[in-house]
Amino acid sequence: MKLREGLMKKIWFGALVLLLCSGLTWAAEEWRIKLEEAKVNLDEGNYQAADKILQDLVASYPEDMEVNYYLGLTKVAQKQYSAAENYFQKANNLKPGDTLVLLDLANVYISLNRPKPAKDALAEVLAREPQNGRALYLRGVAAVQEKDCKSAQEYLEKARKLLPKKAAEINYQLGVCAKNQGKSQDAKKHFDEAIAAGKGTVWEEKAGKQKETLSTQNMFYATGDVFYQYDSNIVPVADEDALPGEISHKEDSRAVLWFKGGFRPLLLNNAGIGLEYHLYNSWQFEEQDMNLQVHQGVLNGYYDFRMGKMPARLYGAYLYQYAGLGKNYSYYGTTHRAGPTLLLAETKNLVTEFNYYYQNETFDDPGEDDFDRDNDAHQLLAGQHFYFWDQKIDLGIFGRYENANAKGKDYDLNRYGVRAIAQLLGWKNLSGWVFFDYDYRDYMHSSYDRVDEVYQAGFEVQYKFWKYLAVFAGMNYADHNSNTENFDYDREIYSAGIRAIY
Please enumerate in sequence order all residues whose Cβ is within 8 A of that of 170, keeping only pairs 6 or more positions apart, or say none: 137, 140, 156, 159, 160, 163
Look at residue 57 in the predicted model and tell me its pLDDT.
87
Higher pLDDT, 151 or 8: 151
Q: Which of 13-17, 75-79, 211-215, 435-439 has the highest mean pLDDT?
A: 435-439
Q: Letter for the amino acid at 228?
A: Y
pLDDT at 132 > cutoff 90: yes
Residue 203 to residues 168, 195, 306, 307, 408, Cα–Cα distance (Å): 6, 7, 33, 37, 68
Residue 418: Cβ-neighbour burial (10 angstroms; 0-12, 13-18, 19+):
middle
State how beta strands 330-347 and 350-363 pair: antiparallel
pLDDT at 178 > cutoff 70: yes
Look at residue 40 in the predicted model and tell me its pLDDT.
87
Look at residue 174 in the predicted model and tell me its pLDDT.
93
Look at residue 29 in the predicted model and tell me its pLDDT.
67
Domain spans of the chain, in order of start: 28-178, 220-501
Look at residue 309 in the predicted model and tell me its pLDDT.
86
Give the mean pLDDT of the chain: 89
Higher pLDDT, 486 or 262: 262
For range 467-481, the mean pLDDT: 96
CA distance 179 to 215: 10
Cα-Cα end-to-end distance for the chain: 111
What are the pLDDT digits (tens) for 42-53? Answer: 888 888 988 898
Look at residue 23 in the predicted model and tell me its pLDDT.
44
Look at residue 1 in the predicted model and tell me its pLDDT.
38
Look at residue 13 in the predicted model and tell me its pLDDT.
38
Give the residue among 16, 14, 474 at the shortest CA–CA distance from 258: 474
For range 118-142, the mean pLDDT: 94
Look at residue 28 in the predicted model and tell me its pLDDT.
53
CATH of 28-178, picked from 2.40.160.40, 1.25.40.10, 2.40.110.10, 3.40.920.10, is 1.25.40.10
CATH C-level class of 220-501: mainly beta
CA distance 310 to 348: 10
Look at residue 379 in the predicted model and tell me its pLDDT.
98
